[in-house]
Structure formats: structure tokens, C-alpha cells
Amino acid sequence: MRLSRHWPVFGLLAFYAASMLIAGKRCHCDDTPSPRGQVFFETHIRPVLIEHCLECHSTDTEASGQLLLDSRSGWETGGDLGPAVIPGDPASSLLMRAIEYQDSDLQMPPDGKLDAETIEQFRDWIQDGAYDPREGNTAGRIQSTALPVERATEHWAYAPIKRPSVEDLPPAQSPIDRFVLAGLQSHDLQPEPIADDLALLRRMSFDLTGLPPTPEQIDAFVQDRSPEKWDVLLKSLLASPGYAETFARRWMDVARYAESITLRGFVLSEAWRYRDYLIHAYAEDRGFDQMIRDQIAGDLFGGNTLQERQKAATATAFLAMGNNNLEDQDKTKLEFDYIDEQLETIGRAFLAQTIGCARCHDHKFDPIPTADYYSLAGIFRSTISLEHANLSKWIEQPLPLDDDSVSHFEQLEDQANQLRSEVTILQKRVGKSKTKQSIRLRELPGIVIDDSDATLVGEWTQSQSVPGYVESGYLHDSHSGLGEKTATFEPSELPAGDYEVRLAYTPGTNRARAVQVQVFSANEAKTVRVNQRKTPPIDGIWTSLGTYPFEQNGQAFVLVSNNSADGHVIVDAVQFLPVGEVATRNDIVDETNDADELAKLDNLKKSLTNVEQQLAKRPKYLTILEGEPVDQIAIRVRGIVHHEGERVSRGFLSAIGRSEHWSSQIEGSGRRQLAHWLADPSNPLTARVYANRVWSWLMGEGLVATENNFGTTGDQPSHPELLDYLANELIESGWSTKHLVRMIVRSDAYRRRVGSQNGLAASVDPDNRLLWSAHLKRIPVESLRDAMLQVSGELDHTRFGPTIRTGTKADFNYRHESSRRSVYHPVLRNSLPPLYQVFDFADSSVSIGQRPRSTVATQSLVMLNHPWVIERARHAAKRFGSASFGESDETRIVSLLDRLFLSAYGRYPSSAEREMCETFLQPDDRLPDLVQSMFASVDFRYLE
């Protein structure tokens, strides 16, 4: 099939017009919807329920908490906690309490709070009577439809893997094709023929390396007449760096890989090591069973060589990249939420099971009791995943190193500890000398106003808790009344002249970091911010506010405010010191001279800083740690962490694999045994799930279309015997990914052309589940970006290593400027590149089996208007326009078009395309427009 083309001459205009037509289909009402009745419900309420609620709260799902929201009778009856909506009374409606996140145990939707406008629309809807025209019957909904554990094998996914025979199947060179042909013949269907060589070459290149073939590769392939050329090509692609990078990027979707978390944009600075681990693992064809062990417990398994230990350790970042609310002050709830995210990711990634559905109640459809959920949770309750503080933090550990490097860093650590001890001792001695008594006003030079003489607004509290204050004490505010409290220090008389103005305060960790201090002098009012957590730099008492001119009888005062304070504000005294006058503190300084000790302290601090900077160079990795083993864990009733029920021992899903065998061997946290259970060949899910993923990565859709859900609510496999055959092949090959890739790519099922003329097959099997044709596949956004860079000649093939810009503390508004392959681009949850946002990049907060496949106007508009795309077209035009093809001027444009089409489309232009392009390229300055039109075309963005 030849795709409908957007001819180069009209490419940009055609896409613009198409985009406008698509955009014009969007519904927009001229009249503002009434806050009552059907219009408001259909416009503002039903869409939100569908998008955020019905996945868990409808008659077709588990009805989490026994609550149905797909009918009026559902929310009227309510769930475990009672009616969800009280018409006319938003304040009493549980639904409002849940979506407003007022209750830490009742927050919906669980993946994030709705925006303020939507919440207000729900409040208006309930206030106006909660109009809902949907009818539904909730009778009998409490009855569970779950498949019992003892009958689990009645479902295909939980049954043992059997090696099917191919003897009675239609003859074919590949066993895969024998299964496929059997399915087609059972429906009296014929498959499409094999795709032409250039289309298949481009398909294989993108599927295996994520890049289009170069003109040189195409020329060499076309000239190769040997019968082994396809095997030679396949071997070359599997050995290329691009293969490992592409397959690693695919697994990164499943692993919800990211290098930051949404909360405050915190950067996971060591996450890149997990990406590099995956690339190395796929390059060496590491057995997938071993990759499972690495990712679940690599830090515990270790390895025989340093390189193996490093690989295994860095792989455990798989468990540490969850996108959680680390600010949650209920640390028990935070830990259980973190565990839930880990279990849900493990379940979807390796078993294609929605384990998290059993947190609050027995799984409504699959054989996963709540007891099994908490048996698994006990393993991670015996693991340390976070370092708790007001703001909890992920865990980073020193990377395993060779003995000499370890010894070097251990010596540095010893030096640092010794220096820290010496600094602490000396600080106490110097601090005691400096602050052993209060400071008397009469001994201070200049004009000093104490806090007892300040004019106060608001409530201030007298204190003497921290020594080193002026006169009899100091004042501090409370945490309430921000912006409502001030202290004004004004001298009764101040001779004209220039004065250094100083503020006295006692420091502390609970002080405000940016106290607002205003100095009013002869000709200005200046605001200074003072960090009162730091020790005042002048004698440990004063901080300078600057030097100011003052006039006789002019304004001369200092105003301290608690406006926007993030801690206590301290007011003690203000000093007006005439410029040139020496400030002395004879009454608070010991008779011994502190100068030498201060100098020594300063040198110690400098030495400590130097050693700490060297220690900071020790490589680290993102991980979790072993904790104190928890033999039994209490089930949390309805998932509420503080409502404890019966206790269960650590273990695994009782319906799957050799659960009892591995449960009986648990030691430590149990992560080792968890890894063994997941990778056990007798586990009926793991090999099936991964074989299905590899099939999907190459074919465009899995034999089981719901790649992350093999449960009873997931899709049935289109070819169950083929799936088991591939799962067996995976296990018997040592869990080799490359073995599966070779099998699939060599099959006719993979090599078929995209169907267009087979009307009977299209009518019988419109979704192509029987594989009578190849699937038309849109190129993933990473490959789309890399292909443009390759065509423009800018693609940087540098491999491995960190890529986040040095000094980046938060991911907000991050500038993505690298020209390296997209797999090395930082995946920042708050700042994805525009192309990623438009072309369905994976949601990095959850495990993704299959990315969404949207076709929207913005995709065309981005290709038409985005400066990055335009710049790539200009670079490509410059590259091809300046190339010397060795022909005369008359034939130069022919060669230019050949190379351009080979680079962008993997084929030569047709005669009609050549003629139109030649016409369009008069004058020559249209070449950038031609390239951009080719970038925007479906031929560039899709694989035939």
C-alpha cells in the first residue's frame, strides 16, 4: 500500500488546512452553560467522572469501596462509607470531601487532585441538586465476581505454560507462521504478501534501532544479491548500539523511568545509571530472568566481578523511581503509599496484574486476596525506601568500587569525621567564650536602641533562651499573624552624619531565613533581608544593614517585620555606629585572645570543605535498603493505614507459580525470594508477559492487547498457543530477548506489507487480530526526533553518562537542547520537550504497556510551526544543498532528491514526486520548506 501523500509543493498548506479542519470539529458552545440541568452535567460533570472515576467505580469494574458512580442510584446508595452525594449539601457530601483532599484517608482521584475550577463545578452541581439523568441498578453489586484462588488455572493466564505442537499446523518456514496461518485458514482468509525490500528494510531499522537506514546502508543492501542478506542485516542491527538503546527505552516505559519527581521538581540525579544499566543489559543480551533479579534485589545478589556488582546495584533504582508525595507528614501513610506504588509497578511490569486493586479489598475479578497483597507488602515493609524528615527523601548509596578506590574514599571519610569533631569542639569553646554573658548597653559604642525601647505592633514574646543578647533579653514573634507584627527602633537623638546600621539577633534553626528589615535614612528607605538561621557575622551578635546618611531631625529609624517569615523573627537591638568609630565588646570577650582560635576554626572549616568536596565525587546510585524484617504485617482495613486488621506472614500471590515454595524460604526482607518467584520458569505469567511485550514492540500490538493486564478483565490472546510457544522459546533460550527478536523478525507475519486491498479480511477482522497484514505503525516520538536529527546531520551518537545540566536543582522550565539520541534525554516529569507532549510520550508516573495513540491537530501544527522542527529542516537543507554529488548541474538536483528521499523515507522518489519537487525547487531557497514538508508528511512519521 502506498500511503496518501502530502505533495511537497503543497505540503505545508495541506497540513495547515487539515489541522484547521480537525480543530474545527471540536465542540464549543456560544452560550455559557447554565449551572443547572443537563447542559451543565453533560459539559462539566459526566466527562470528569468518565476520565477520573469510572475506571474504579462502575458496574463494569471492581467498584472500589463498593461505590458506583456510573448512575444516580449508585452515588445515592453509596459505598462502604455511605451515600457519596447529598443533593443540595456539598459540605456533607463525601464526594466533595474526597476530591477536595480534606481527609488524608479519603482522597480521590488517587493519582492527583483535580484542578480548582473542576472542584468548584462539582460543588455548584451538588448545590443545585446534583442533576443526573443516568439510570442504573445497583442491586447485587456487593457480590464478588472474583475468580477464586483455587480455580485460578481456569483462566488462561494462570494456567501452566505448555509447549504446543506444530505438527498438525499448516506448513511454513517459521513456527510463528504456522500458528498464524492456522488462525487465518480457520476464517478462510489469506494473508497479504511480503512487503517490498526497501519498506521492510526501513521497518526493521526503526523497529530494531529506532533510526531510519542511511542512504549508504540502503545502497549497500540493494546491491547485495546474496540470499543471506536479510540474516546479515538482522545480525548487524542486533549488534548495533541503537538496538540496545531502543529496547532499553521501551522497557523504560514499563519501569516508569524518570529523572525527577513532580513534587517541587526534585531531580533524581543518579537515575541515569538505571538507564545505562538497561542499555548494557540489552546489548549483552542479559537473560531477562537475571534482569528481574537485578531490578528487584540486585544489591543483595551482587556478582563475581566489580562490573557485575555495579550493574546489579544500579538496577534496583527500578524500585525507587516512584512519583510520590514526600511531603506527607503521616509517615506511615507515606510508606504504605510508596509500597503500593512499588507493588503496582512490579505487578504490571512482570506479571501484568493489577495488584494494587487488592489494597482495600479482595480483588473483585482476579484471584488476588487482600491477604496476598499485604503478604507482598510485608516484604517492602521490611525494606527501607525513604529517609524520613519533614520532607522525606529517596535513598542514594555509594556505588561499589575497586579496593583502592574504596580505601581512598574511606580515608577521606575518616578525615572528614575527624575534622567535623574538631570543628564541633572548637565551635563550642569559641561560642562559649563569646556568649557566656549578655551584652550591656553602656559598654557598646554608638547609639544603641534595645528591644525594650522599640515601638511594637502585634504580640511579641520576651525570651532569654539563646545567650549572647543585648541587655536583658530579646523578643520573638509567634508563627501566627504573618505580616501583622513590626518592631520599630528609633533613636531619640541622632547627630547628622554617616552611620553603619547594625541589627542584633540570636540565631537558631527555627528562625526565619529572610527577615524583612527596612532602614529609613535621610534620602532613602531601603529593605534588607536577613537570614536569622545563620550566626551574625560581626562578633556573633550583629549583622550590618549597610551605611546610611542621616540628617538632624530627619527620618532615622529601623523597622523589622514578620512579613512572609518562614520561622521566628528575632528583634534584640539596633546600633547606629558612626563611620570610623571602633566597635568594642570588652565585657563579653574572655581575657584570653580568641583571634587565634577563630583563625584555627576558619582553617578547619576550609579543610573540611575541601575533603567534603572530594567525598562528593564518589559515585552513588539510586536504590533501596534492607530494613528490619517484619515477619507479619497487619492488613489495613479498606486500605486505611491506621485501621489494622488480622496479621499475615510475608509471601507471594498464592494463585501464581511456586508461591508456597519461595514463601517458605524468605529471609531478610524477602526481596531475594520475590525475585526468584518472579523469574521462576514455573511462574505462568512472567514469560508470557515478557514474550508478549517483545512481540508488541516489533509487531505494533501484543498478542494480548492489554499488555499490562493479563487478568480476567484483560483481553484474551489472539493466538494463545503462539504466545505459549514464544514463552517456552524465551525460557529455553536462557530468557534471551535477541532470540525472540530473531524469531519474530524472520517470520512472514512480521514481513507482510500493510494491507489495503484485502476487503474480505478487513471485514472479517477489522482490527487485524489474526495478523493477515502488518500493522501500520506510527514512529515513536523519540525516533521521530532522532530521525530529523539524522537527516539534518546533527545527531550526536555519544553514549551513556548523566545528561541533566550541571547545577540543576529543579526540573521546572528545563531547556532541552541536546542533540544526543532521545534515550539519553532527561525524562523530567514537570518539563517534557514539546514534541514529547504532543506525540504521546509515556506517562512516566505509572507503568505503561502501550502508549496512547492519538491523532490530533496539534501534531500537524507542531511539525509546521515549532522552531525546533524548522531549524532541523534548515540544517538538513544546508547539508543536502551544499553536498557535492559529482554530477553536472543538470543532474545535480536528481541526486539531491534521491539522497533526500532515501534519508527521509528510505526509498527513491516516484517520477511524479520527482517532477513536482523539481518544479517546487525553483528558486533554490525553497529547499528548507521542502524538507520540512517531508518531515510533516505521513510517510516520514509512519512505518509501512
Mean pLDDT computed over 559-575: 91
Angle, in degrees to the nearest 10, between helices 229-239 and 737-746: 150
The pLDDT of 470-475, averaged and rounded, is 92
Provide mean pLDDT across the span 851-872: 92
- Look at residue 882 in the predicted model and tell me its pLDDT: 78
Q: Grade residue 63 by pLDDT with cuts at 50, 70 and 90.
A: low
List, in sequence order, every residue forming a beta bridge with 502; answer none if it has no partner.
Answer: 544, 575
Q: Rounded distance, CA 829 to CA 905, Å?
A: 32
> 538 forms bridges with which residues in the sheet?
542
Strand, helix or coil for residue 578: strand
Which of 25-34, 50-59, 463-472, 581-590 is the least confident region? 25-34
Quick one: average pLDDT of 534-562? 90
pLDDT, tens digit, for every residue of 757-771? 778 899 999 999 999
pLDDT, mean of residues 46-54: 82
Those residues with Cβ within 8 angstroms of residue 504's Cβ, 6 or more apart along the chain or in another chain: 439, 469, 470, 474, 536, 541, 542, 572, 573, 574, 575
| Amino acid 41: pLDDT | 81
| pLDDT value, residue 38 | 59
pLDDT of residue 28: 29
Tell me the pLDDT tens digit for each residue of 555-564: 899 999 988 7
> pLDDT by residue (tens digit) across 203-251?
999 999 999 999 999 999 999 999 999 999 999 999 999 999 999 999 9
Residues 172/181, Cβ–Cβ less than 8 Å:
yes
**How far apart (Å, rounded) are the C-alpha atoms in residues 291 and 730?**
14
* Cell, residue 27: 465542540
pTM of the model: 0.73
Section 8-34 average pLDDT: 33
Choose the weakest-confidence range: 203-212, 591-600, 643-652, 669-678. Answer: 591-600
Mean pLDDT of 118-136: 87
pLDDT at 591: 36
Average pLDDT over residues 490-510: 91
Cell of 115: 484542578
Q: How far apart are CA 435 and CA 545, in angstroms?
A: 22
- As a whole-number percent, the residues of the chain with pLDDT over 90 amount to 65
For 171-209, the three-class secondary structure string (H helix, E strand, C coil) is: CCCCHHHHHHHHHHHCCCCCCCCECCHHHHHHHHHHHHH
Of 360 and 207, the one with more pLDDT: 207
pLDDT surpassing 50 at residue 26: no
Give the burial class of 51: count Cβ atoms within 10 A of its Cβ; 0-12 exposed, 13-18 middle, 19 or more buried.
exposed
Contact 558, 520 (CB under 8 A): yes
Q: How confident is residue 135, by pLDDT bands cut at 50, 70 and 90? A: confident
Distance CA 753, CA 200 (A): 8
Q: What is the mean pLDDT of the segment spanning 793-811? A: 94
Residue 137 pLDDT class (50, 70, 90 cuts): low
Q: What DSSP letter does each residue of 116-178 carry, written as one string? A: HHHHHHHHHHHHTT---------TTTTS--PPPGGGGGGSGGGSPP-----TTSPP-SSHHHH
| H or E element that contains 604 | helix 595-615
pLDDT attached to residue 595: 66
Spatial contact of 247 and 310, defined as CB atoms under 8 Å apart: no
For 437-589, CATH gives 2.60.120.260
- State how far the alpha carbon of 22 is from the alpha carbons of 19, 779, 825, in Å: 5, 21, 31
Name the average pLDDT for the chain.
88
Q: C-alpha cell of 379? A: 516484604
- What are the residue ranges spanned by the domains of the chain? 37-127, 150-239+692-777, 287-400+624-683, 403-430+598-618, 437-589
pLDDT in tens, 299-338: 999 889 999 999 999 999 999 999 999 988 899 999 999 9
d(CA 131, CA 125): 7
DSSP 3-state assignment of 222? helix
- Contact indicator for 611, 412 with CB cutoff of 8 Å: yes
Mean per-residue pLDDT for 378-395?
Answer: 93
Residue 879 predicted with pLDDT over 90: yes
pLDDT category at 423 given cuts 50, 70, 90 is confident
CA dist., res. 279 & res. 285, Å (int): 10
> Does the pLDDT value for residue 31 go beyond 70?
no
Does the pLDDT at position 145 exceed 70? no
pLDDT confidence band for 141 (50 / 70 / 90): very low
Indicate the angle between helix axes 272-283 and 288-301, nearest 10 degrees: 130
Strands, E assignment, 244-346: none
Instruction: Calculate mean pLDDT across residues 134-163.
Output: 78
Mean pLDDT of 414-419: 90
For position 76, what pLDDT does the model report? 86
